[in-house]
Structure formats: structure tokens, C-alpha cells
Amino acid sequence: MAKYDMKPGESEEKYFKRVAKAADQRLVRLEKLAKQKDFEAVTKFAYARAMRDINVYNPGGSRFNTALQKDFEGKTDRRILRERTADVLHFLGAETSTKSGIIKDYSARADTFNRKYGTDMTWRDLAEYFNKAQNVKLERQGLASKTALRAIGIIQQIEKNIVEGVEGNLNITATDVEKDAALKVLRNRKYLAGHTYSIGERHAIKKALKTL
């Protein structure tokens, strides 16, 4: 029997209360986690969906485990009870409802971004990128997120070549749009949260960009 399956002889009300308490404990942990570095955005994922579900039946509420609705006979409304139980189970089953699940989710995203855009991001890099709204800042400069990420990938590859002393890396190609995007990224104090280029490093990368 799975942890959140209904137990033999357990009433629907008791089952709801049990899983709702477990879900509320998880909500509290996410709220605490949101105060930690790299995890500021955790309330935008499964947590956000949970808040929407909670507010359908308890406007202004922030927890699942609240009083159950009654029908016209004063008994527990079974339809609403089952809908609320389904909402709780959806949250408990969501990967981004736990710290380990969020790391796993971000790791998968980072792998995908790295393959698509030639970047070398860790899950923390990607979390910082989105949590600190760096992509929004770049969009204000006229850069779409995909273009900005591709530009970051180009910069990272050039940086690696410079550090390793590699000349004429034929694996790096860039369109004029991507080169322009890379230059705009470099003009920011930080192209990615947590990574700052010195004037000399920026100059070397700009010089390499011109040769692409």
C-alpha cells in the first residue's frame, strides 16, 4: 500500500484529514524553503497550484485541512469532499512539492537547456536565472529568452576556450542576432546571477565574438 492510499476501514473524511495534514506540512516546508538561496521561486510551482485549489473552496485560505462543506441536509458534501481530496493528492504527487523533487526537476531542465542552447548550466544556475528574473531583464533589452540563453551558451563556450587556450573552435557558430544578444548580455554587470566578468574578460570575449 502506497503512503497516501486510503487505509482499510478508513472513512473518506478521515482519509481527507490525514492526507490534507501531510500536504499542509509540505506547504509549510516549501514556505520555509522559499527563504533559502536558489529556492526563492519554489512557491511558483506545485505550491501555486495548491493555493489556487485551496481558494476554490476556502477563499483567502492557505491550507488544505479546513472544515468540510455540508450539503443541504447538513451532512458532508461527498462530491466536494472527493474533489478536495483529489486536489490534495495532486499536490502530494507533484514533483515540485518537495525540495528533492525541485532539484530533480531543475536538473532535468538544465540538461535540456544545455543540449538545446550549448550552455553549461547546473540546476542552481538555472534556478538563479529564473528566480532572479534575469531573463525578464534581458527581455526588456529586446531579447527573447531562447536567444538570451543561446547567447549565454556562446559566451560560456568562448570563456572555456580562452581559459583552456583553445584557438579557432569550429564548434562555436553564431548568427548576427546571437552575437548582438551576447554583447547585450556582456554589458550587464552580471550575465547570470552569481557570475561576474572582469573588464579584461569581457574584452577578450568581445574580441572572440567578432571572429565567429
User: In terms of pLDDT, which residue wins out, 52 or 189?
Assistant: 52
Q: Give 135's contacts (C-beta < 8 A, 6+ positions apart).
A: 129, 145, 148, 149
Task: Evaluate if residue 125 carries a pLDDT over 50.
Answer: yes
Residue 56's H or E segment, with its range, is: helix 46-57
Q: What is the CA radius of gyration of the chain?
A: 24
Q: Cα–chain-centroid distance for residue 70?
A: 38
| Residue 178 pLDDT level (bands cut at 50, 70, 90) | confident
69, 63 in Cβ contact below 8 A? Answer: no
Task: Evaluate if residue 18 carries a pLDDT over 90.
Answer: yes
pLDDT digits (tens, 9 = 90+) for 43-79: 888 999 999 999 999 999 999 999 999 988 899 999 9
How high is the pLDDT of residue 133?
Answer: 47
pLDDT digits (tens, 9 = 90+) for 94-119: 988 999 998 998 888 888 878 877 77
Task: Evaluate if residue 195 carries a pLDDT over 70.
Answer: no
How high is the pLDDT of residue 174?
Answer: 79
Rounded to an integer, what distance in angstroms lies between the CA atom of residue 25 and that of residue 33?
A: 12
How high is the pLDDT of residue 187?
Answer: 75
How high is the pLDDT of residue 40?
Answer: 81
Q: What angle do CA 200, 203, 209 make, to 5 degrees?
A: 145
Task: State the burial class of residue 46 (Cβ atoms within 10 Å of its Cβ: 0-12, 13-18, 19+).
Answer: buried
Q: DSSP label at 74? A: S
Task: Evaluate if residue 12 carries a pLDDT over 80.
Answer: yes
Please state, rounded to an integer, the average pLDDT across all residues of the chain: 82
Rounded to an integer, what distance in angstroms lies between the CA atom of residue 10 and that of residue 91?
A: 21
Rounded to an integer, what distance in angstroms lies between the CA atom of residue 59 and that of residue 151?
A: 44
Task: Evaluate if residue 42 carries a pLDDT over 70.
Answer: yes
| Residue 34 pLDDT level (bands cut at 50, 70, 90) | very high
**Whole-model pTM above 0.85?**
no
131, 45 in Cβ contact below 8 A? Answer: no
* Domain definitions of the chain by residue range: 12-97, 109-211
| Residue 132 pLDDT level (bands cut at 50, 70, 90) | low
